[in-house]
Amino acid sequence: MNLGLVSLLLLIAAIIIGFVRNCNVGILCTAFAMILGIIYGVNVKDILAGFSSSLFIQMVGITYLFAIINGNGTLELLARKMVGLVGKKKHLIPFVMYILGFLICAVGPGAIPSLAIVPVIAIPVAVSAGVNPIMTAIIGDLGVMSGRMSPLTPEAAVVRELMEEQGMKGNTIPIMIGMIITALVVMVLVYIYYKGWKISETGMVQEEKLPKFNAKQWLSILGLLVLAVGALFFSWNVGLTGFMVGSILLVLGCGDEKKAIAAIPWNVILMVLGVGILMNVISLSGGIDIMVAGLEKIMGHRTASMIMAIAAGIMSFFSSGLGVVFPTLIPTASGLATGLGVNAVELVTVIVIGGTVSGFTPISTTGALIMAGVAQQEALSFNKNVYDCSYYSYDQMTKEEKESILLPVCYEKAVVKDKKASVVFTYANGDTYTGFNSAEIQNAGGSKLYTSQLGSSTMALSGDFVTSDGQKHISNEDLMKKTDYCLVYADYPVTVFGEHDIAYVSPNVTVLASNCAQITGNDGGYIIFK
């Protein structure tokens, strides 16, 4: 069988196996390229020629830099300060999130980290303001989509190299303009669908006292400016500049090298480069010509863009747009443009748009991140006060309760840090999350969670207390003298995680680890952290 056809079939097989078995498609492609080399006698040099060292440098360099900047809190604080500029103008929040998403993505990190950052900021802000959190998160990620083809991003580096390999000018600005226009159209539709003009009157923008940028964060911002100016005005290599700025920041104590290296999305990088290795074999063996000939049969001059966009979208449902869709379809753009008489850049643009927009579905990365952010959120912090809180399991409710209760939520865990207990909940849906705010929590009768520093506690301790190993008893009087200890009380079954080790517990508490214990039953229990 023809090598080009076999290599194409193996690419399809890699995509299917990767989806079904949740394997890295790039590694599978590399393995298949080696198999082809053994069977068909493909030279190792030809196989390795598909590994792009320049692309590797660009992707690793830029993600390395932003792992450092993100790790020291610069990006999140910068984003929150931007949101704070809105003040009480709640109707502007979705549009601020769009701008925020665009800027966070466009300055260099690309869509991969930005898609994780934006919903984390957008959802809590939307909930507190009475704005639909799903709508706000989608609009924020549409901003990310708009900035994806900025010349500074790793995605732009991939597309630029793929275009240059076909003799096209590696300019991603026209593609970015196409992405912005598409995103704005989708944003209008999203705003209309979710009735964005209707804002809950119960929502209230909570003024958040944000800290000032520290010295490390100011240096990180300066590093961002150096990257942007160097790449845009002096044509500095983005990857090498990322390594340079990142190294300087590390020397100045602005980040942790081990954490930065660990935060680099190696799986995505391996996927992109691995697919490139197999695609090189496909290209050398005439597989690209077979793909172009096949596509020409089902499309014409007027339908080419539409069909390519749909094909990219469908492929993106099952595989990575950056790692699989772009390296697979973009190499066909030049041949199709010549054969059908269409613009090659236009085809590349619709491939990128189609492979990106489909990511907003719940089964794709962007949609899944948004739904996860809406479904789970660290909602409240309790300190030195007793709040009445109701925790409901939606599945256990009667029909009447489901219709009448405002807060169908499921309690997950509590985390004690800095003598405060943060409670994590799971919500039935986005609308439930929207209605779940502190005012309603305080008025909802039910179970109690109490956190305080020993010695200042207003709650009278009762019962016996033992050390975490259950061997030694201590009196209430002696216990109250340990004023640097933190007390947690709950009268419902709960697992509590602490920042420090556990010193004492009441008898009905089961110690699971040095800093983790479980209160069982509804009689109440105490956990004392060092």
The 10 Å Cβ neighbour count of residue 180 is 18
Helices (H), 166-303: 173-193, 215-233, 238-251, 257-263, 266-284, 287-298
261 with 64: CB under 8 angstroms? yes
Instruction: Dump pLDDT digits (tens) for 242-261.
Output: 999 999 999 999 998 998 89
pLDDT score recorded for residue 415: 58
b/e 134-173 (16+ beta carbons within 10 angstroms → b): bbbbbbbbbbbbbbbbbbbbbbbbbbbbbbebbebeeebe
pLDDT score recorded for residue 382: 30
Question: Closest by alpha carbon to 525, among 481, 491, 496?
Answer: 491
pLDDT score recorded for residue 72: 87
Instruction: Dump pLDDT digits (tens) for 128-138.
Output: 677 888 888 89
Instruction: Dump pLDDT digits (tens) for 296-353.
Output: 999 988 999 999 999 999 888 777 788 889 999 999 999 999 999 999 999 999 999 9
pLDDT score recorded for residue 351: 96
Q: Exposed, middle or buried, 524 (CB in 10 Å: 0-12/13-18/19+)? A: middle
The lowest-confidence range among 139-143, 255-259, 366-370, 430-434 is 430-434
Q: Exposed, middle or buried, 357 (CB in 10 Å: 0-12/13-18/19+)? A: buried
SS3 (DSSP) at 497 = strand
pLDDT score recorded for residue 74: 85
Return the half-sphere exposure (C-beta side, CA atoms, 13 A cut-off) of residue 260.
24
**In Å, how far are 344, 414, 453 from 385, measured between CA atoms?**
64, 16, 11
What is the percent of the chain where pLDDT is above 70? 73
Strands (E), 434-493: 447-453, 465-467, 473-474, 486-490
Residue 23 has pLDDT above 50, yes or no: yes
Mean pLDDT to the nearest integer, 120-130? 72
Residue 491 has pLDDT above 50, yes or no: yes
Mean pLDDT score across all residues of the chain:
78
Q: How far is residue 119's CA from residue 101's CA, in Å, rounded to a whole number?
A: 9
Kindly indicate the confidence band of residue 420, based on its pLDDT and cuts at 50, 70 and 90. Answer: low
The lowest-confidence range among 18-32, 174-188, 376-390, 413-427 is 376-390
Mean pLDDT to the nearest integer, 480-500? 70
Mean pLDDT to the nearest integer, 476-490? 71
| Most confident listed range (164-168, 442-446, 485-489) | 164-168
SS3 (DSSP) at 362 = coil
* R_g over Cα of the chain: 27
Residue 508 has pLDDT above 70, yes or no: yes
pLDDT score recorded for residue 306: 94
Kindly indicate the confidence band of residue 119, based on its pLDDT and cuts at 50, 70 and 90. Answer: confident
Residue, of 75 and 96, whose pLDDT is higher: 96
pLDDT score recorded for residue 29: 94
Residue, of 421 and 164, whose pLDDT is higher: 164
Kindly indicate the confidence band of residue 20, based on its pLDDT and cuts at 50, 70 and 90. Answer: confident
Own/partner pairs for 181-189, CB < 8 Å, 24+ apart?
182/145, 182/353, 182/357, 183/98, 183/142, 183/143, 183/145, 183/146, 184/142, 184/146, 186/142, 186/357, 187/98, 187/139, 187/142
